[in-house]
């Protein structure tokens, strides 16, 4: 259960096996053991290779652009595929704003669902909810986009805009929030609840002022990590969130740029053009933003260790 803080229970009373010389370990068994140890290390090395490779690729191809201050202060307005310059501030703002609003919608629903599952839910309905959350985890992002498009644009006739992107992302974020919150709530010791009940505190108040605050920073961690996932989503944005090169911060006012759509817009260019460098820089920016969120999440979980 300690996995939340990335701290694995390593029982120190356990002696390292190689110190246990009980005799009778044949050469074959020892060899197998050494091979297994080697395989584990090798597997980890293999897992790290693509990560490092991707990060290096992105940093080498896009790094020089994000070191330029205009990258963080200017939009792409007036910059074409063949021209250098401009920045990504429009896309960064769009990504952050859409992420924030998505979080504002999904967090209450997600947290309450988790509260239901942990504190209230028993029986068939709870199992249904739990199963549906799993299904939602598996809804392909493009299907989420199509769904929101059909409901709000086709059926209700709204203009496509940032808010509907948020709705689609909400569908993808809710299951993440539910699952992580559920886990945090289960970590809250039952003794705390029992103590509160013993004092005559009603259940809702116990949850509200004992359980949730205890799990608060853990929940924040989960939310930030969920955000990290939806901020990198591209597919629903292709359907719902038309791109603009200008700074646009109005969620209800039509086109709005985000980093994934910026990458998508510029990737259909010859590799030799300046636009192509910008997609790697945008990718690097997106990874850095997500990293920053991860760090904040980690920070929050550190503070929670009382």
Of 93-112, binders to other proteins (CB under 8 A) are 93, 96-97, 100, 108-112
Report in angstroms how near the CB of residue 303 gets to other proteins at its nearest.
5
Q: Is 199 in the site for other proteins (CB under 8 A)?
A: no
Length of the chain: 306
64/171 with CB nearer other proteins: 171
Of 124-143, which residues contact other proteins (CB under 8 A)? 125-126, 128-129, 131-143
Tell me if 112 sits within 8 A of 104, measured CB to CB.
Answer: no
Residue 236, judged by CB atoms within 10 A of its CB (0-12, 13-18, 19+), counts as buried
Report in angstroms how near the CB of residue 281 gets to other proteins at its nearest.
12
Of 11-70, which residues contact other proteins (CB under 8 A)? 11, 14-18, 20, 22, 24-25, 29-30, 32-33, 35-37, 39-44, 46-48, 50-51, 53-54, 57-58, 70
- The Cα-based distances of 121 to 127, 129, 164, 180 in angstroms read 8, 9, 31, 17
Of 225-284, which residues contact other proteins (CB under 8 A)? 225-226, 228-229, 231-235, 238-239, 242-250, 253-255, 260, 263-265, 267-273, 279, 283
Q: Is 186 in the site for other proteins (CB under 8 A)?
A: yes
Binding mask 146-185 for other proteins (x = CB under 8 A): xx--xx-x---x-xx----------x--xxx-xxx-xx--
Q: Is 10 in the site for other proteins (CB under 8 A)?
A: yes
Query: How many whole angstroms separate alpha carbon 141 and alpha carbon 137?
Result: 10
Tell me if 219 sits within 8 A of 184, measured CB to CB.
Answer: yes
Nearest by Cα to 231 from 253, 277, 262: 262
Give the list of residues 6+ apart from residue 271 with CB closer than 8 angstroms, or none. Answer: none
Query: How many whole angstroms separate alpha carbon 286 and alpha carbon 211?
Result: 34
The residue within the footprint of other proteins, chosen from 66, 115, 251, 281 (CB under 8 A), is 115
How does DSSP classify residue 2? G
């Amino acid at each position: 259960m300690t996995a939340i803080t990335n701290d694995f229970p390593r029982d120190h009373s356990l002696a390292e096996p190689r110190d246990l010389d009980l005799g009778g370990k044949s050469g074959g068994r020892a060899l197998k053991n050494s091979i297994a140890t080697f395989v584990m290390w090798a597997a980890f090395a293999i897992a790290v290779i693509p990560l490092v490779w991707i990060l290096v690729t992105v940093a080498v191809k896009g790094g020089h652009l994000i070191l330029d201050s205009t990258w963080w202060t200017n939009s792409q307005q007036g910059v074409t595929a063949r021209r250098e310059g401009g920045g990504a501030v429009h896309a960064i703002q769009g990504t952050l704003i859409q992420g924030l609003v998505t979080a504002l919608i999904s967090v209450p629903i997600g947290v309450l669902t988790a509260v239901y599952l942990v504190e209230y839910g028993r029986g068939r309905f709870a199992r249904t909810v739990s199963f549906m959350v799993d299904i939602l985890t598996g809804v392909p992002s493009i299907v989420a986009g199509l769904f929101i498009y059909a409901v709000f644009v086709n059926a209700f006739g709204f203009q496509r805009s940032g808010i509907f992107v948020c709705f689609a992302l909400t569908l993808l974020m809710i299951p993440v929030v539910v699952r992580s919150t559920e886990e945090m709530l289960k970590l809250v010791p039952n003794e705390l609840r029992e103590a509160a009940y013993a004092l005559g505190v009603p259940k809702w108040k116990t949850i509200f002022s004992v359980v949730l605050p205890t799990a608060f920073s853990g929940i924040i961690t989960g939310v930030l990590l969920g955000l990290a996932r939806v901020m990198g989503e591209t597919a629903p944005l292709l359907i719902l969130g038309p791109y603009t090169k200008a700074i646009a911060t109005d969620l209800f006012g039509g086109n709005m740029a985000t980093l994934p759509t910026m990458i998508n817009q510029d990737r259909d260019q010859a590799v030799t053009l300046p636009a192509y460098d910008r997609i790697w820089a945008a990718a690097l920016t997106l990874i850095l933003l997500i990293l920053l969120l991860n760090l904040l999440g980690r920070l929050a979980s550190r503070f929670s260790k009382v």
